Structure 1
Amino acid sequence: MTRLSLSAVALAGLVLISSAALADEDKTVTVYKTPWCGCCQVWTDAVEKAGYHVVVKDMEDLTAIKKQAGVPAEMEGCHTAVIGDDRKYVLEGHVPLEAINKMMSERPDIRGIAVPGMPQGSLGMGNHPSAKYTVYSLNTKPSEPPQPYMTAGE
């Protein structure tokens, strides 16, 4: 094998390793929650069980995190998470796995998705497949109102 071919093989290996590393980073979910919230822990455990790498950051007050993430007051849930590598998305509240997977596969031009409040039957709040609630998209421009992204339970 010539030096050029060895270099090409080595470069191809690095590209594969880099792609795998990016895919792993892309599946990292950093969850900001209060230490005493049981439903947040249930949601976090379900996300981890679904194959995501979860990093938990317990905090007494999430106000600054929600503000930094650009979560409108009417979209707030009990925890805030961030997912992605070079493109970060916000996950606010009890977002279902289907919505996370959809967003990560489609890569829409939004800031993230939110489930306001704590809907009964949502992931972390009983996780009933027939529970019907709206998942909203958070626009990249904070001045634009959230829009329905999908309906869970359909």
Structure 2
Amino acid sequence: MSETSAPPLPNRRWILGLGLAAAAAPLASARAAQGTPIEVWKDATCGCCEGWVEHMRAAGFQATVHDVGDLAAIKTARGVPEALQSCHTAVVDGYVIEGHVPAGDVRRLLLERPRAVGLAAPGMPPSSPGMDIPGTPYQVVVFGGSGGNRVWAQH
């Protein structure tokens, strides 16, 4: 038979760590409540772009929208290849989001943090968020990484 010993008493380091965690929790909660900031450039008259912005806001992103006349300059400055371009461009935490990329794919990007410029849903896929016409499969591509462009997600 073995003797059971009492669990060790908390030491100062453990108590200090617990106190710091308790102090940091409200700050993390406040950031989550505010949403992840995302900056979007779009044409003022584009309804599907506004639909995508609403999709992102509903998913917890805090969108700042810029209505601009020259989206080509924004895309060029952000390094979006012509073949991957769509109707709007966004930036979130240093990554470029081109077109109607679903919020879940953006969250995955921010979690996994690959070495890449960003994600693109090339063209204007009919069943993507903001377009909302079901039934057409499409791909989201991660681009600008050392391994070249590759499929990030299939929808």
For Structure 1 versus Structure 2, the TM-score category normalised by the shorter chain is: 0.7 to 0.9
Report the TM-score, using the length of structure 2 for normalisation: 0.77
- The alpha carbon displacement at 1:131 in A equals 3.6
Corresponding residue number in structure 2 for 1:149: 152
Whole-angstrom CA distance in 1 between matches of 2:57 and 2:67 = 16
**Superimposed CA distance per residue, residues 118-154 of structure 1 (whole angstroms, 9 cap, x where no aligned partner):** 01111111153x541010011246xx642111111xx
Whole-angstrom CA distance in 2 between matches of 1:64 and 1:147 = 24
Whole-angstrom CA distance in 1 between matches of 2:60 and 2:31 = 15
Tell whether the 8 Å contact from 1:26 to 1:83 is kept in structure 2 after alignment: no
- Give the 5 Å matches for 1:1-154: 13=23, 27-84=36-93, 88-126=94-132, 128=134, 130-140=135-145, 145-152=148-155
**Superimposed CA distance per residue, residues 69-125 of structure 1 (whole angstroms, 9 cap, x where no aligned partner):** 1000000000000001xxx11100010122112111211111100011001111111
Match of 2:119, SS? Answer: strand
Tell whether the 8 Å contact from 1:43 to 1:94 is kept in structure 2 after alignment: yes
Match of 1:42, SS? Answer: helix
Corresponding residue number in structure 1 for 2:16: none
Unaligned runs of at least 5 residues, structure 1: 1-8
Q: How many residues align?
A: 139
Report the TM-score, using the length of structure 1 for normalisation: 0.77
Match of 2:77, SS? Answer: helix
Whole-angstrom CA distance in 1 between matches of 2:44 and 2:90 = 14
Superposition RMSD in Å: 2.5
Unaligned runs of at least 5 residues, structure 2: 1-18
Amino acid corresponding to residue 43 of structure 1 in structure 2: W
- Residues 1:26 and 1:145: Cα distance change in structure 2 (over 3 Å): farther
